[in-house]
Structure 1
Amino acid sequence: MSLTVWPARTVLPATQQHHRQVVNLVNGASAPVNIEVEPSQFTQAASGEITFRPPGPVSAASWVSVTPTRFRLKARETRKVTVDVSVPDRPEPGERYIAILFKTPPRKTSRNVQVVGAVASQFLINVPGKAVHRILADRLEAPRFAFGGPLDLSLSIRNAGNVHRSYTGPNRITATAGGKKLVFPHITILGNSRRTVTAQWPDPPLFCVCRASVTFPTGKGEHITRTARIVIVPLPQIIGLLAAALGLFLLTRKGVRYQRALLTAARQEHR
């Protein structure tokens, strides 16, 4: 199976009650496939992984209708699917997260294992009402002591609001460590979700008592700052130098003993 869908994510504004969007599906395989289309709810894990689940009784999936819902997609064919979204009157403020799943039904087989493939197009549906922007962050996680690089800096961010927040493009979260700028990955945090992101410091100095710091906007004109202290000690290099110094000392001491033995032997022969 080789299915591609675009757009992968669509954000619908709260300024309209009715929306019509077109989703494109491409079969990149050399064989035709049967496609079933259905709406699904989804949530986001801290790693960014998206989990799909069947719509519940109060899900916004009832706002969505898709045309067509079943079709056969030829090899290398592109198909346009129409998605209509109708927001009801006076819904609870915030965003609704609905995915349009394009599934390949399992083929009949005599074996016990069947594989069902699916790709999704995500819809972030804004509804009229008060949008709550509230971003919280735990402390910046970094090793307190390190013997060299690379080093990882991790930040856990919680979106306690009811709309998503994106840190992408020029708005990506950045950190400074040892005077260098470190860039975190592009992320989108859905409402009432948490994300953990990691940036890497590839080449820290051999020795330093460094301060790492990250500052990013919360969406309300405010900023959050988190810091961490890192002590870097080049322990392998120190051990290597001590071993070299010890070897040189033992070699020098052995040479001195050897010279003394020669002098003693020479004196005895002279007598």
Structure 2
Amino acid sequence: MTGAVVRRVRRGAGLLGVLCVLLGSVPAGRAESAPSPSGFSLQVSPTRLEIPAGTVTTSRYFLLTNRGNTSFEVTVEKADFVADERGAMSFLPGAPYAASEWVTVRPKGLRLKAGESRKVLVRLEVPAAPEPGDHQLAVLFKVPAGRTAANIRINRTIATPIFITVPGPVDDSVAVTDLRAPGFTLGGPVDITTRIRDFGTIHRDFRGTGRLRVRVGGDEVQFPDFTVLRGSTREVGARWNPPLICVCHATVSVPGPGGGTHASTRIVVLPLHLLAIPLAALTALSPIWFLRRRRRARVPAAAAPGGVEDGHHS
């Protein structure tokens, strides 16, 4: 699982722009801010860390690279977080399953020259007798606000999640709680949305060959890569290109104990707007057809016996 970086820039003098992390939907490897007109670009690798169960003490590193053309200062912080249904992080002191107190980072500040790379140490020490299952935190790499040509101040932050698994009962159970799609549509594409709830003690990844799929109209449509955190709900969407006409059933299934869970919904595809064209043409031609039929009916009537006098008298 990786974090996808989504840039949010709020416009207006004195406002701040923030790089937020979305849990899922980009290739693994690195989180990177796109180059801005000022030449700023920060890359962080890896985009997340997973600490395996049973690890009590360990040291890991993040590699920071300045891919822009100007130098800048980076401050390094840590924070507990929760994720919303879209996977976006919200930093919250005392969040459930918080682990920020288990970690120290060094250095807490550094300067990166253009093209330079530096390492940041993450040191983990798990306390005695923690609750089994997933615990999490985020390391924040912040670049202080600068001013653009439009006099807009922009703070940039890349947040990288760290997941720590404490030994104990491991349960990655999830359930499909909802599946939504339009019940009737004139045509495609059709947006299909599902919600997945994690009821276990650890997170559940749906990535790569394990991607979640929706079966609909004889097709298998993949949802983007995503992760459901422990105790959270995730909503994801996919887009389906249906046939011209269809009464189709969409089904999402998640394997698990007892056969797993699933949800279904019906989608009716009927292109009434296309059917209206021949109906309009038929309506326009019907008076002509009626007149031609009436004219043809008069010809046999005129030719019938007694229909025309022949001038002969007895």
TM-score bucket (shorter structure):
0.7 to 0.9
Cα displacement (A) at 1:70: 1.1
Does the CA-based 8 Å contact 2:99-2:137 persist in structure 1? yes
Counterpart residue number, 1:252: 289
1:264 corresponding residue in structure 2 = none
Do residues 198 (structure 1) and 232 (structure 2) align? Answer: no
Q: Secondary structure at the match of 2:180?
A: coil
Equivalent residue of 2:281, what SS? helix
- Structure 2 unaligned segments of length 5 or more: list them: 1-39, 298-314
In the alignment, the residues of structure 2 paired with residue 131 and residue 151 of structure 1 have an alpha-carbon distance, to the nearest angstrom, of 37
Distance 1:56 1:240 in 2: 58
Which amino acid in the other structure matches residue 7 of structure 1?
A: P
Note if contact 2:143-2:156 (Cα within 8 Å) is conserved in structure 1.
yes
**Which piece of structure 1 moves more, 143-152 or 24-33?**
143-152
User: Which residue in the other structure is 1:267 paired with?
Assistant: none
5+ unaligned residues in a row in structure 1: which ranges? 261-271
For the pair 1:128 / 2:167, whether they are aligned, the reply is yes
Change (3 A) 1:17 1:221: farther
Displacement of 1:247 after TM fit?
Answer: 1.2
1:213 maps to what in 2? 251
Match of residue 205 from structure 2: 166
Do the aligned partners of residues 246 and 57 (structure 1) sit closer, same or farther apart at CA in structure 2, a change above 3 Å counting? Answer: closer
Specify which of 221, 232, 237 is matched with residue 269 of structure 2: 232
Q: Residue type of the partner of 2:111? A: R
* TM-score of the two chains, using structure 2 as the length reference: 0.75
Matched, 1:32 2:88: no
Q: Deviations over 1:186-225 (max 9, x none)?
A: 11111111111111111x222222111222224x474222
TM-score, normalised by the number of residues in structure 1: 0.86
Query: Are residues 1:61 and 2:78 paired?
Result: no
Report what 1:140 is aligned to.
179
Q: Tell me the distance in 1 between the aligned counterparts of 2:255 and 2:77.
A: 36
Deviation (angstroms), 1:162: 2.6
Query: 2:48, 2:160 within 8 Å by CA — same for their partners in 1?
Result: yes
Residues 113-124 of structure 1 mapped to structure 2, 5 A cutoff: 114-124=153-163
**Contact 2:97 2:135 (8 Å CA) reproduced:** no
- Counterpart CA distance in 2 for 1:155 and 1:147 is 22
Secondary structure at 1:243's aligned position in 2? helix
User: SS of the residue aligned with 1:181?
Assistant: strand
- Aligned partner letter, 2:254: F
Query: Structure 1 228/57 Cα, relative in aligned 2: closer, same or farther at 3 Å?
Result: closer
Partner Cα distance (1:180, 1:124) in 2? 35
| Pairing 1:223–2:260 present | yes
Counterparts of 1:159 and 1:199, CA distance in 2: 20
Over 3 Å counting, the alpha-carbon distance change for 1:80 and 1:162 in structure 2 is same
Matched positions, count? 258
Distance (whole Å) between structure 2 residues aligned to residue 108 and residue 150 of structure 1:
42
Cα distance in 2 between the residues matched to 1:155 and 1:14 = 30
Decide whether aligned partners of structure 1 residues 112 and 162 sit closer, same or farther in structure 2, where only a CA change above 3 A counts: farther
CA distance in 2, matches of 1:223, 1:158: 12
Q: Which moved more, 1:220-229 or 1:168-177?
A: 220-229
> Quick one: distance in 1 between partners of 2:95 and 2:199?
22
How far, CA to CA, are the matches of 1:256 and 1:56 in structure 2? Answer: 81
Between the two proteins, what is the percent identity of the paired residues? Answer: 37
**Cα shift readout 1:22-49 (whole Å, capped 9, x = no counterpart):** 1001111111111111111122111122
Aligned residue identity for 1:79: R
Q: CA RMSD in A?
A: 2.6
Equivalent position amino acid for 1:155 in 2: T
Which residue pairs with 1:266 in the alignment? none
Distance (whole Å) between structure 2 residues aligned to residue 165 and residue 23 of structure 1: 24
Compared CA separation, residues 233 and 108, structure 1 to 2 (3 A): closer
